[in-house]
């Protein structure tokens, strides 16, 4: 069995998508449709920068999605591949869950771009800059991370945001609490804590205003049943019902991204092949979670051509 998986924020880089667009009309069509949907020159920003603008959450989220969907469309159109024929499940890390839904045709591309633009804006606006923070805990499992959060919170918001793999967990919350957690990490048997260069504390209760904004937007969004089930971040279980998908997307804004559990559950269900499209981030996490799985990351035209021969 096979799953197509999609990266989250942090996988953006100036120059992304340029080689694909140069090589394939299918990719150019994706980037143009996203530009048209957003009314901005996002593709120019992706290819030329500046990096500071591309890194802004409201730009990074639709950009990462567009790059991944362009990769998929090239694979489909030039490789003669249909996702529904080659994938049993799809999943995406945080914003990548929207990419997965677009890939599985539950959301159309323009709607996905607009939802991610709004999601980025709403997440940024939810907490004033400087009041929230996130830190990656290296050499920590979820239990150690939770114990650290309990010890460092002192009445402030501090939660597990991303359970990425057996050795990496991300925490999120009030800046003072995250700073306390970083200083206490070694006492809790955690190798080290690395503050992340993010502009807001994602996937924690401080994001409640953003969750409310997404609930309103998703209520009005046309969303169909996906071609294949999507493993949801907040449940680490497959979902296919449109109403349930909308519910878990709202919950995801403040909830933990249970990526390690999602990969483990897919592997337990019989998935051995994991294809990451548009990045080289979540594939390595797969290998650390399920050592017997076979992840491949597909970014370049050469990657696409090599994958098409094996599917």
Asked if pLDDT for residue 199 goes beyond 90, the answer is no
Q: Which of 203, 262, 273, 297 is catalytic?
A: 203
Q: In what order do the strands lie in the sheet with 294-298?
A: 238-239, 230-231, 89-92, 2-6, 273-277, 294-298
For the residues 195-216, what does the mean pLDDT come to?
95
- For residue 41, the model assigns a pLDDT of 98
pTM here is 0.97
Please say if 41 is a catalytic residue. no
Residue 229 and residue 97: Cα distance in Å, rounded?
12
Instruction: Read off the pLDDT of residues 11-43 as tens digits, 9 standing for 90 and up.
Output: 899 999 999 999 999 999 999 999 999 999 999
Instruction: Read off the pLDDT of residues 230-284 as tens digits, 9 standing for 90 and up.
Output: 999 999 999 999 999 999 999 999 999 999 999 999 999 999 999 999 999 999 9
Phi and psi at 232, nearest 5°, equal -80, 140
- For residue 197, the model assigns a pLDDT of 83
Q: What residues does each domain of the chain span?
A: 2-126+206-310, 132-198
Write the class of the CATH domain 2-126+206-310. alpha beta
Residue 86 and residue 4: Cα distance in Å, rounded?
9
Residue 169 and residue 164: Cα distance in Å, rounded?
6
**CATH assignment, 132-198:** 3.30.70.250
Asked if pLDDT for residue 289 goes beyond 90, the answer is yes
Banded pLDDT at 91 (limits 50, 70, 90): very high
Strand 89-92 with 230-231, pairing: parallel
275 and 310 in contact (C-beta within 8 Å)? no
Q: Which of 11, 24, 94, 172 is catalytic?
A: 94
280: tokens are 């080289």
Residue 283 and residue 259: Cα distance in Å, rounded?
11
Residue 120 and residue 124: Cα distance in Å, rounded?
6
């Amino acid at each position: 069995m096979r799953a197509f998986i999609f990266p989250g924020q942090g996988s953006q880089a100036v120059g992304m998508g340029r080689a694909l667009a140069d090589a394939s009309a299918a990719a150019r069509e994706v980037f143009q449709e996203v530009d048209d949907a957003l009314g901005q020159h996002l593709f120019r920003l992706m290819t030329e920068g500046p990096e500071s603008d591309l890194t802004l959450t409201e730009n990074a989220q639709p950009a990462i999605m567009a790059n991944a969907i362009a990769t998929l469309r090239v694979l489909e159109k030039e490789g003669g591949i249909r996702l529904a024929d080659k994938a049993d499940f799809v999943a995406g890390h945080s914003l990548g869950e929207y990419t997965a839904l677009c890939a599985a045709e539950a959301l159309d591309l323009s709607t996905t771009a607009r939802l991610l633009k709004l999601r980025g804006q709403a997440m940024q606006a939810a907490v004033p800059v400087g009041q929230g923070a996130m830190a990656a805990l290296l050499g920590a499992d979820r239990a150690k991370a939770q114990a650290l959060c309990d010890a460092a919170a002192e009445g402030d918001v501090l939660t597990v945001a991303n359970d990425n793999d057996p050795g990496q967990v991300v925490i999120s919350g009030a800046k003072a609490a995250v700073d306390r957690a970083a200083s206490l990490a070694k006492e809790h048997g955690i190798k080290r804590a690395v503050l992340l260069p993010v502009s807001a504390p994602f996937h924690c209760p401080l994001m409640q205003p953003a969750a409310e904004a997404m609930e309103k937007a998703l209520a009005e969004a046309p969303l169909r049943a996906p071609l294949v089930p999507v493993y949801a971040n907040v449940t680490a279980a497959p979902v296919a019902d449109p109403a349930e998908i909308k519910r878990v997307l709202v919950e995801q804004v403040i909830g933990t991204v249970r990526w390690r559990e999602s990969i483990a559950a897919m592997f337990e269900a019989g998935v051995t092949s994991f294809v990451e499209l548009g990045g080289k981030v979540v594939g390595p996490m797969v290998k650390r979670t399920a050592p017997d799985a076979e992840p491949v990351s597909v970014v370049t035209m050469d990657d696409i051509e090599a994958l098409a021969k094996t599917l």
